[in-house]
């Protein structure tokens, strides 16, 4: 399944990033600590080339601590990449970004300030981080994806200038699991998927990776055998019933997704480096098969 979600202002933002990059000294990419891979923009790595990059794992207080550390070690294997894991309430820690930028690109700022491009997908906390760095409200914040619409130039003082961009998603999300992760965490608007589909994917994942949290949260003696059984159990415990004693699947789906997002179930990370390597290998096979079929059609024509 090819997931497409590319509002017009995002297409414009991608062009603006490309045009601005020649004036940029380093990039700051805000990613969600719960989905560090799926919340990255693959186009940014190509655009920045060999320029230094700070990857800020935001909302780390919602993520699995051990997996956050694993992701930081994995991401920093790439040359020129440094990471910083922050909760949105950790104001002092977020302000460390300023000194980290100067460490990555040492220069006499009295001659020329550093220019840093800050970017991130919708609803990842980018605007909140900008406001903290600036010490005042500059960027609009909100729980809905795609709040920022226009590029901004923000002089933070101390020789650092930020170039802010709208939250940009890439045109096609080929990895279906990444699409579900983005939907589960609220990066993609709820209209992109049905609640039932997202909840079914989420329930299956939680049963596999966090069964003890599921047992504790929903007071279960044993782990349900599959996602359908889990949703049925939650629905009956929460009174999500329709006529005929049937489960209101939409209602129970919203409950599960909401409890995932608020850490009511627990601190959860929806992917690991090992998972992603397997998924990307599978995606390479799919791409190769598609290319072979396309070539075969051309030969027939």
- Parse the chain into domains and list their residue ranges: 3-172, 194-270
Strand 53-58 relative to strand 26-32, pairing = parallel
Strand 114-120 relative to strand 160-164, pairing = parallel
* Identical topology for domains 3-172 and 194-270: no
Fold of 3-172: Rossmann fold (3.40.50)
The model's pTM: 0.87
Q: What is the pLDDT along the chain (301 residues), one digit of tens a residue?
A: 445 444 544 556 566 677 778 889 999 999 999 999 999 987 777 778 889 999 999 999 999 999 999 999 999 999 999 999 999 999 999 999 999 999 999 888 878 899 999 988 878 899 899 999 998 887 655 544 444 445 678 889 889 999 887 655 555 677 889 999 999 999 887 777 899 999 999 999 999 999 999 999 999 999 999 999 999 999 999 999 998 899 999 999 999 999 999 999 999 999 999 999 999 999 889 889 888 888 888 888 7
Contact 23, 114 (CB under 8 A): no
* Domain 194-270 classification at class level: mainly alpha
Rounded CA-CA distance 123/188 in Å is 9
Rounded CA-CA distance 105/26 in Å is 8
Say whether 188 sits in a helix, a strand or coil.
coil
């Amino acid at each position: 399944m090819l997931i497409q979600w590319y509002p017009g202002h995002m297409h414009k933002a991608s062009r603006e990033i490309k045009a601005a990059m020649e004036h940029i000294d380093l990039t700051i990419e805000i990613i969600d600590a719960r989905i560090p891979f799926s919340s990255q923009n693959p186009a940014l790595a190509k655009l920045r080339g060999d320029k230094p990059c700070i990857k800020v794992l935001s909302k780390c207080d919602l993520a699995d601590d051990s997996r956050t550390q694993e992701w930081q070690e994995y991401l920093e294997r790439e040359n020129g990449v440094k990471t910083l894991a922050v909760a949105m309430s950790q104001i002092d820690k977020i302000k460390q970004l300023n000194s980290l930028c100067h460490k990555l690109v040492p220069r006499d700022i009295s001659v020329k300030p550093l220019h840093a491009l800050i970017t991130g997908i919708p609803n990842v906390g980018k605007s909140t981080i900008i406001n903290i760095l600036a010490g005042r409200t500059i960027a609009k914040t909100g729980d809905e994806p795609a709040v920022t619409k226009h590029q901004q130039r923000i002089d933070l003082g101390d020789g650092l200038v930020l170039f802010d961009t709208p939250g940009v998603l890439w045109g096609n999300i080929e990895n279906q699991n990444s699409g579900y992760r983005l939907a589960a965490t609220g990066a993609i608007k709820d209209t992109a998927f049905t609640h039932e589909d997202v909840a079914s994917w989420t329930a299956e994942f939680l049963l596999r990776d966090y069964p003890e949290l599921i047992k504790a949260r929903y007071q279960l003696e044993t782990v349900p055998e599959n996602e359908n059984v889990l949703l049925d159990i939650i629905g009956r415990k929460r009174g999500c019933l329709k006529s005929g004693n049937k489960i209101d699947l939409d209602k129970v789906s919203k409950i599960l997704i909401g409890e995932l997002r608020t850490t009511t179930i627990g601190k959860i990370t929806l992917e690991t480096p090992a998972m992603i390597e397997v998924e990307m290998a599978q995606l390479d096979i799919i791409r190769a098969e598609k290319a072979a079929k396309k070539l075969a059609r051309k030969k027939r024509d």
